[in-house]
Amino acid sequence: MRGGGLSLLTRSSFAAGLSLFLLATLPESLAQQTASSSGAPRIEVVESSQELHETLEEKPPLTFGASRTANLTITVDDTVKYQQIDGFGASLTDSSAWLLWNKLTEPQRKEAMQMLFSPTKGIGLSVLRQPMGASDFALSDYSYDDLPSGQPLSPGDPDLKHFSIDHDRAYILPLLREALVLNANLKIMASPWSPPGWMKTSGSMIEGTLLPSAYAPFAKYFVRFVKEYEAAGVPIYAITMQNEPLNIPGDYPGMGMTAREQIEFLANDLGPAFRDAQIRTKILVFDHNWDLIAYPIQVLSDTKAAAFAAGTATHCYGGSVTAQNELHERFPDKEIWLTECSGGDWQTGKLLQQQVRLAIGAMRNWAKSVVLWNLALDQNREPYWGGCTTCRGILTVNHAAQPSQIVPTVDYTA
């Protein structure tokens, strides 16, 4: 049963289970290399201890011997197929990119990027979810179409004359291109935390909703973003329309968007805009927590909107992962991606087991990806603009030390 829970793992069963999982996901060319000199199948073992005294340590391989079970029959039903896995990753937030670019030497930065993205010398992350503009982990509020000082909010910039991704050219885009060199299979998603303030009822990137007059300009905004990122050497695999549309934070960029509003925007503006521009980037609905699953059900139940949607993006901060199974049962032709799940100081107990269970549970409930949050934060869990003060990165960049130190966290090991 795909939606079932997961039992606690002992250290030994965790190591063996993780090794089997890694073996099952190896490319065929690598899997063939796991045969012993005698020709018997062999499992490569990589082990991390619960206390992190050992992290991704290579152990002697295990070799299958002669079967001790009489009359053992294994039947494989190749007519039953599940989802294809896009991969595992995190987000190169403005904060993460700034740290990697500015607080590490060039050799250290290359080491960190290799640790993160190399399939042979690192953990081979294969999915990134990029904020389109500022998020809660940024050095400032910014969008890709901020008005010049003194220009009135109305009518704003409906023709996007001021659109620019120059902010990202400084350190985000160079790191994304480097990641693509390290892992050619990397898929990059993108999500806005907020449109430009002039598009919103609040007049800023904080709070508010999308003005009716801004639906068409916001669709153009996505088109421009996808095209300009691709021109900069970074193709966008998928987008969501709004990060956490039912969360309207008061201290960092965000925007409310009801399911009805998302239906109208997707069906009448964004979907047609992508179609007319011949953009093949996938459009995902929702991008929020499992306990709010009625939202994507409503959006995907609208025939006109659903025609433009590839599937649903989910977060882990509320509810149960089994909500994804309900989504799949209702909409089997629409796929599911887990697009955000940060670790942090609120977690207690056996963190390594928790993170492994997150990945396994998500995939058992139809997720094509498991994406954590920040790739890197510093020793103070910064820089951050608002919201979470105790979130954890996959790497910690300790720039209080001289020279700076790159410290993998439990999320890197998991």
* Residue 340 known to be catalytic: yes
Contacts of 57 (CB under 8 A, 6+ apart): 46, 47, 48
Beta-strand pair 343-344/405-408:
unpaired
Query: Which residue in 228, 261, 335, 340 is the catalytic one?
Result: 340
Phi, psi of 276 (to 5 degrees): -70, -30
Q: What is the pairing mode between strands 343-344 and 391-392?
A: antiparallel
Q: Is the dihedral of CA 55, 60, 65, 70 positive or negative?
A: negative
Q: Is the peptide bond before 383 cis (omega within 30 degrees of 0)?
A: yes
Chain centroid to Cα 204, Å, comes to: 26
Q: Which residue has the tokens 């050219």?
A: 169
Residue with tokens 């053992």: 72
Q: How many degrees, rounded to 5, is the angle at CA 224 between CA 210 and CA 161?
A: 80
> What Å distances lie between residue 231 and 166, 236, 239, 354, 370, CA to CA?
13, 11, 17, 39, 27
Q: For the chain, what's the residue count? A: 414
Catalytically annotated residue among 207, 244, 261, 264: 244
Identify which of 86, 45, 105 has the alpha carbon closest to the alpha carbon of residue 368. 86
- Residue 57 is a catalytic residue: no
Tell me, letter by letter, the H, E, C secondary structure of 103-160.
CCCHHHHHHHHHHHHCCCCCCCCCEEEEECCCCCCCCCCCCCCCCCCCCCCCCCCCCC
Question: What does DSSP say about strands 367-374 and 187-191: parallel, antiparallel, or unpaired?
Answer: unpaired
Dist. CA 409–CA 414, nearest whole Å: 9
Which helix or strand (DSSP H or E) is residue 394 part of? none
Catalytic residue list: 244, 340
